A and B are shown apart, each in its own frame.
Chain A
């Protein structure tokens, strides 16, 4: 029986760029920005890095395939550099690979970096394609928001909750994230919004309005991982930030082909959460998790995730959301840094940005106004692909 990776790997340092429409910089600049901060934070020399995993999703508007460009840009010391790609879960996939490299004992110090330069496409939203030649012949015409918007009607039907009520809870989600994001200097969208603004915004994909959708931005984030023993020896006066669990689950066709998925949930999130809680030794997530950074690409996604993570009961997310349970001063603050909603979603970077948000809370490096009370365990949830054809990468971090 495999024992998992709990407490075998520590995060030695992290870096995260300002996310936004970074017209003045390219993917290479963003990588350097996150990497330099990460190295400084880790307090090591670049030549100490023994292996690197870099995540980028859209090689068409980015740094190309493989990882040669990435190694060149960072001038890594002729070590193995591997590109990871798993749709929107790309960055957390880089962290998973780096974590396994350390946990296996193969290396002591490994870099995980995620980067995406999206604002070189020439249009708003994400590029299409990436599914191979078949979707061209036999697919459907939908953009990013389309498949996630489709969580809403079956959710409303399944629990008999009027769409109007679901939309109000969705609006609360976005208002909460903007309230958090406006305090974060690294966020892209730093302004508050109101429920009325959300509900009256132009429709992007029914029933999602503009403020139900996350932004599209450029950014990069990086982490250097090592063993807890090395972390302690290098930084004796600082808490060791340990990885308690990383679990990934990929949809297997049950959702898209077989008739037992209701369209109102994310099976991959349910599976990854159950495994991650087990790996981390969490019995009651609603009581034990201190904060969460989830994949809020759209407000409805965050809403169903709250149930699929086992935090809100089935059909109970709207009530929890409206009660302020997930607000910054609530029981489990969610999207404490502003989330994808306010950071935007540079695909290859977002997963590590979430980890950064938990990391800075665990080290209590944030100003009082956005500090999570009683911080102990942080959860990151990085979703890739579509609800029915995708992956969930779930991470849990803690300190001791």
Chain B
């Protein structure tokens, strides 16, 4: 039986209080005040859908043998590359094998559930097993728009397989329409959106009930059979209407996290599903629907295995790990919505040597080092000659993973002179438990939090964004270790 074997999530650390946007921009458009409640999750300056996908993927893969993963499906409408498989960047960072099927799912916002369906169908067909399905979006909006208020950044990930399934896939129903409520053409950074009232009445309130009713009819179910009904509608009027039409009671309505995260696009229904699974009990039926260029509705039944699920942070864990961004202008600079000067020192940066990246992809994208088989010393970057002065063995190395190791701070600083978008630029030397050390950028923390000996964990981030050549470089940074309860 095919289903979800594991789930994980990721919400960036920074939250922008919507009141902060109102304060900055309501002078231009008073209407945004209608969305002033709560906060939206905002990717850090060194995050994008790929890094968020890796974080969610790592969360979902906790406790899973990564060598068993046979596929990686990535869904997003904000992928950095049009040509260069975005899932291909995620694969080495997740430390799954190269012999996997991988695909990018994009286009409409229902791409997240479509990726999930494709994985479920593949597993059910017996052709492939253990597929990591990950969705992340980081959508931009023009300033002083409702979209800017509503959108938020988040990611969710699932492992889809047929062993130790925690939520069995029972069926689905899809509708697809070229309904242009909002569009983003090839070269546009932001959406062009039609009138909200039309979207409310002719979009959300039509397609979501159509797909959900289709699913209920197909499987002879009633809405009350479900423990949770999950659908991603950020329009309050439409939600009320849909709940009424379908008979969704407040008890079974899964929160769309509008007050905590915002509308995270392709990932939103999956983020909601991941959170619903956190509180699910064996026997619970879950209905999840997406929205955008149509609707996919899927239905799962939670199994006894849910009780064995542990060890990950999940959406709720990351929701608790938050920091108020506090500044609207910081948000504008991080999203490159206003040109900021990081200094001429940055202009002389070298271009990306792709032949070197290919040669050293395991160490750069996967943080693989080496361990000397003669003396056991782990070392990063990988060496030919052992760094242990007592050893010095030549070519006796085996691969050694650092991405999953905890490290402790030997030294640190906050650099005001470096060309960075979040000064002071934090960096320091980390000594890994078990051996090995290196200097890394630090992220998602402040200089005040740092001290020698502090426990740090590794996180996949943007190393640089070469705007002159449109190349994003990814690498690993250190961030304070968050204990999983």
A→B interface (CB under 8 Å): 60, 121-125, 127-129, 133-134, 136-147, 149-154, 156-157, 202-208, 252-254, 256-259, 262-263, 388
Contact = CB atoms under 8 A, between A and B. Distances in A.
A263 B441 contact: no
A206 B473 CA distance: 27
Interface stretch (B96-104, B120-128, B152-160, B416-424): B416-424
Contacts of A129: 348-350
A206 B357 contact: no
B411 interface: yes
**Leading 9 A-B pairs by shortest Cβ distance:** A257-B387, A150-B411, A143-B417, A149-B413, A133-B353, A206-B414, A146-B415, A157-B452, A205-B415
Given A123-B345, A138-B463, A150-B428, A263 B411 contact: yes
Most buried by B among A125, A129, A152, A206: A206
Contact of A136 (B383, B409, B437, B464): B464
Interface residues of B, number: 56
A27 B430 CA distance: 40
Contact of B387 (A152, A204, A254, A388): A254
**Interface residues of B: mostly helix, strand, loop or mixed?**
mixed
Most buried by B among A146, A154, A202, A203: A146
Given A134-B360, A141-B441, A258-B377, A204 B429 contact: no
Contacts of B360: 134, 137-138
Interface in B355-391: 356-357, 360, 363-364, 377, 379-381, 383, 387-389
Interface in B433-485: 435-441, 447, 451-453, 463-464, 473, 475
Contacts of B344: 121-123
B473 A128 contact: no
B447 A206 contact: yes
B429 A150 contact: yes
Given A257-B437, A263-B429, A141 B415 contact: yes
Nearest to B350: A136
Contacts of A60: 348
Contact of B412 (A153, A202, A256): A153
Contact of B419 (A139, A141, A203, A258): A141
Contacts of B343: 123
B226 to A, nearest CB: 48
A142 B345 contact: no
A154 B411 contact: yes
A142 B425 contact: yes
B388 A258 contact: yes
Given A137-B352, A150-B412, A205-B417, 11 more contacts: A128-B345, A137-B353, A137-B357, A142-B418, A146-B417, A150-B428, A153-B451, A203-B424, A257-B437, A258-B377, A263-B411
Nearest to A126: B345
A127 B350 CA distance: 12
21 contacts: A122-B344, A123-B345, A127-B345, A129-B348, A134-B356, A134-B360, A137-B352, A137-B463, A141-B418, A146-B425, A149-B415, A150-B428, A154-B410, A203-B414, A203-B424, A205-B413, A205-B414, A206-B414, A258-B377, A263-B410, A263-B411
Contacts of B351: 136
A258 B379 contact: yes
**Interface residues of A: mostly helix, strand, loop or mixed?**
loop
B145 to A, nearest CB: 33
B365 to A, nearest CB: 9
A128 B349 contact: yes
A138 B410 contact: no
Contact of B349 (A124, A136, A150, A204): A136
A133 to B, nearest CB: 4
Contact of B413 (A127, A137, A206, A259): A206
A82 B54 CA distance: 50
Contacts of A262: 410
B441 A140 contact: yes
A145 B353 CA distance: 27
Nearest to A156: B452
B443 to A, nearest CB: 10
A257 B380 contact: yes
B353 to A, nearest CB: 4
A205 B416 contact: yes
B249 to A, nearest CB: 51
A203 B416 contact: yes
Nearest to A262: B410
B437 A205 contact: no
Contact of A141 (B381, B427, B429, B435): B427
Contacts of A147: 413, 439
Contacts of A133: 350, 353, 356
A79 to B, nearest CB: 34
A203 B415 CA distance: 8
B425 A256 contact: no
A253 B387 contact: yes
A129 B350 CA distance: 8
A254 B352 CA distance: 28
Contacts of A151: 411
B372 to A, nearest CB: 10
A146 B428 CA distance: 9
B389 A254 contact: yes
A266 to B, nearest CB: 13
Nearest to A147: B439
Contacts of A154: 410-411, 452
B450 to A, nearest CB: 8
A207 B451 CA distance: 12
B14 to A, nearest CB: 19
A257 B383 contact: yes
